[in-house]
Amino acid sequence: MPSRSDITYFGAGPAALPTDVLQTASQALVDFQGTGLGIAEHSHRSAIATKILEEAKADLASYLDVPEDYEILFMQAGGTGEFSATIYNLVGAWVTRKQQEAEKAGADEAKVQADLQKQVDEQLKLDYVVTGSWSLKAYQEACRLLGPEHVNLVADARTINHGKFGKIPEESTWKLSRNPAMVFFCDNETVDGVEFCKFPEALAPKADGTGPIVVADMSSNILSRRIPIKNYSLIFFGAQKNLGSTGITVVIVKKSLLPPVCPQPSPTLLRKLGLPIGPIVLSYEIIAKNNSLYNTLSIFDVYIAGLVLNKLLASFPDKVDGQEAVANQKAKLIYEALESQPDAYRIVPAPANRSRMNICFRVIKGGDMDAAEKAFLEKSKQQGLEGLKGHRSVGGIRASNYNSVPLEGAEKLAKFISQYAKE
């Protein structure tokens, strides 16, 4: 049987964790800092848990240079839960803004509600840029919760790529709504290997600071490159790719979308307007008010995330910029190995949109692609290269080049790619 040191794991998630992080966490799971109890046994409302939570938030803010006017929330339900949470919370914020505008004009309660109903019916829109499987799921969830009449498909990448994902439509073709409740995009599509190389210019804030409320799913590329956080109103990400283990989701949200500036409308008002009322555990207002501890948060998973952040900060004095350089170097090695053997491999996404985190390709050598890919996977496992099978919905090969994959692991895969093509 292989040892842990023999394996380089390229699985898409849950991803591998640094071995030293796991060793520290395993000891803490049995006895945390001499307390006689494991970290998973300590109350989530204890001083120990609070310290772990606060340190993880502070380290994340330091690593990514999160501005002070943003709140960091630890939640549950994964990225998929955030597809719903963003809708509930940002539609609520939109209603609150419209309500505040009407009340400032001096209208009475009946007039305010009538005006709100008219604006909901005629103006409420959520915009979605669909570039892969996950942004498509987010778009579909919005249609399910609000109805398609309130959801605007800004762009669908399949329309420019023969019905498949793999390209990002030119921004000049995007059809953005006027003053939407939010504009959503997925910064890196894990399944399809597509990544935005930079923040979309079409969504950039204006000189006066105004602009659309931009929401991004960064579940699979967070902590791998610098983010212009000020351009976003909300960023969310599951921990299980680059931050830690499965079980927690992080939200970085502008404080201007939370009380006291923007309290959520009452459930009574939302019911009268025919809008959905979200579960309380998905309420950013409630989670923020309770310091992420409204219900029982998995402090063990927060602890692991904290260990990962400690390791990143210790490894890279220049913080995320240092990790970005390594991530780019690893991706370059793997893509160059694939490009050097065009008779053996076909990279799926277009060059301008290739993900650094999820490198998707097909093995075309020999004519029978299924047989060739099966052989490739078998041979790769013999070399200790695990987790390379593509997502079940698209097939092929996928090398997930997350932060935990060392440079040596990327070099090993690049060497195998070249050798296999020559066999």
Residues marked active site are found at 134, 217, 241
d(CA 322, CA 219): 20
Compute the CA torsion angle 199, 203, 207, 209 (nearest 10 deg).
-100
d(CA 142, CA 138): 6
| Beta bridge pairs of residue 297 | none
Residue with tokens 């001096």: 106
3-state secondary structure the chain: CCCHHHCEECCCCCCCCCHHHHHHHHHHHHCCCCCCCCCCCCCCCCHHHHHHHHHHHHHHHHHHCCCCCEEEEEECCHHHHHHHHHHHHHHHHHHHHHHHHHHHCCCCHHHHHHHHHHHHHHHCCEEEEECCHHHHHHHHHHHHHHCHHHEEEEEEHHHHCCCCCCCCCCHHHCCCCCCCCEEEEECEECCCCEECCCCCHHHCCCCCCCCCCEEEECCCCCCCCCCCHHHCCEEEEECCCCCCCCCCEEEEEEHHHCCCCCCCCCHHHHHHCCCCCCCHHHCHHHHHHCCCCCCCCCHHHHHHHHHHHHHHHHHCCCCHHHHHHHHHHHHHHHHHHHHCCCCCEEECCCHHHECCCEEEEEECCCCCHHHHHHHHHHHHHHCCEECCECCCCCCCEEEECCCCCCHHHHHHHHHHHHHHHHC
CB 177 within 8 A of CB 127: yes
Q: Give the strand pairing for 249-254 and 234-238.
A: antiparallel
